[in-house]
Structure 1
Amino acid sequence: MAVNLDDAELRRRWDRYAGRYDRDIGVMERLQFAGGREWVCGQARGEVLEVAVGTGLNFPCYPAGVRLTGVDLSPAMLELAGVRARKLGLEVDLREADAQALPFPEASFDTVVCTLGLCGVPDERVAVAEMHRVLRPGGMLLLLDHVGSHHRVLRFGQWLLEKFTVRMIGDYQTRRPLPLLAPAGFEVTRSERRKLGTVERVAAVKCPGPAS
């Protein structure tokens, strides 16, 4: 895909879209991603970083006792996440940040969570490397995303849709993060592919030593 929006343009577009996001994704939550947020967030522990926290839809799914930090490129999305956190009585450290340049030292977190986020990062390999960097050895990476289907006809439809969604909000339909994890220094411990191969849930741990 030739079109790549820079961070400033992505921020502007997501800021404009923030107020409609929860409503627009509601149907997809029920039909395509049902149970995914609970699967991912329910495994989180300790110091947790959520990358691309959005409007905070994951907040009700975290177990008690986690200490949550959330980052997002869009200030408008973060504002809505803050409102949701306050309504739920949660303390969440929310920061504006780029997934490709996380503003944290190495080995800062026990868990990194990213749901429906890597599809919208300009360079998902860099974002995965950053998630690896900020995790402690043995820390857990938990992902949920829509991915390119293994069914040819369906994947072709995703490819056509991608021509529109990338230009609109930088959202890729045919990516698949799982193959990027081992080269980045993760060991996949569990993965589930659903909905004709269009949705994937992944749990992985940071291997000891540097990434290959």
Structure 2
Amino acid sequence: MTSSEDRTARVLRVWEQNAASYDRKIALLDRFWFGGGREWLGARATGRVLEVAVGTGLNLAHLPVDSQVSGIDLSPAMLSIAAGRASRLGRPMDLRVGNAEDLPFDDCSFDTVLCGLSLCGIPSPASAIGEAKRVLAPGGRLLLLDHVASTWPPVYAMQWLLERATIRLAGEHFTRRQLPLVQAAGFSVVEVERLKAGSIERIHALKP
């Protein structure tokens, strides 16, 4: 069985190779599949914000202007693009290379932790959610947006077939669902939305 370290290295390699083309590739999906998701995250974020797997920083424009934003990502190439975006927007941003399963931050450091379209590729999403809980202050918000297993059997079947390749090549899953992991971690779920035949899920949860 492939180790978590091997899976993480594979994810890193994929994003280092694809950083320069990511924004162009995701634009169509943002418009027609994930539509409104980034705005949804931004409307609920508050205070000291940590974005896990920040990528190229596409969510930054939607975050409150008075928020203090930090971001981590495995890929230095992605972070370089995020830094450029933050500079153009005039938004200070603390960007660090880091692993979602072992966050380089102290306990109770943030008011909001968000992760958009990334838990699908993190080797252990349960570990990432546990780390998010650790760094959140009591009452802090966990905001998740991801593609998940569809509620419509024909779409689910296509997702299952697709991930036979994407898991092997890029570590990306299409039939995961994060809500049970959030509940198992002890969060209080206050809002859940499922869209596009149940294949997109938005979760807003609070740390007790």
TM-score (structure 1 length as normaliser): 0.94
Name the counterpart of 1:168: 169
2: CA distance, partners of 1:103 / 1:163: 32
Alignment of 1:4-19 (within 5 A): 5-19=6-20
In the alignment, structure 1 segments of 5+ residues that lack a partner are 208-212
2: CA distance, partners of 1:196 / 1:186: 25
Contact 1:41 1:113 in 2 (8 A): no
Contact 2:10 2:171 in 1 (8 A): no
Deviation at 1:179, TM superposition (A): 1.1
Deviation at 1:156, TM superposition (A): 1.1
Deviation at 1:181, TM superposition (A): 1.0
Name the counterpart of 2:23: 22
CA RMSD of aligned residues (A): 1.4
| Alignment deviations for residues 84-130 of structure 1 (CA, whole Å, 9 cap, x no partner) | 11111110000000000001111110000100010010011111100
Alignment of 1:18-167 (within 5 A): 18-167=19-168
SS at match of 2:120: helix
Q: Structure 1 pair 104/3, CA: closer, same or farther in 2 (3 Å)?
A: closer
Residue 53 of structure 1 aligns with an amino acid whose one-letter code is: V
Q: Structure 1 pair 2/160, CA: closer, same or farther in 2 (3 Å)?
A: farther
SS at match of 1:189: strand
1: CA distance, partners of 2:63 / 2:121: 23
1: CA distance, partners of 2:164 / 2:118: 18
TM-score (structure 2 length as normaliser): 0.96
Contact 1:3 1:167 in 2 (8 A): no
2: CA distance, partners of 1:82 / 1:167: 30
Contact 1:110 1:136 in 2 (8 A): yes
2: CA distance, partners of 1:167 / 1:77: 21
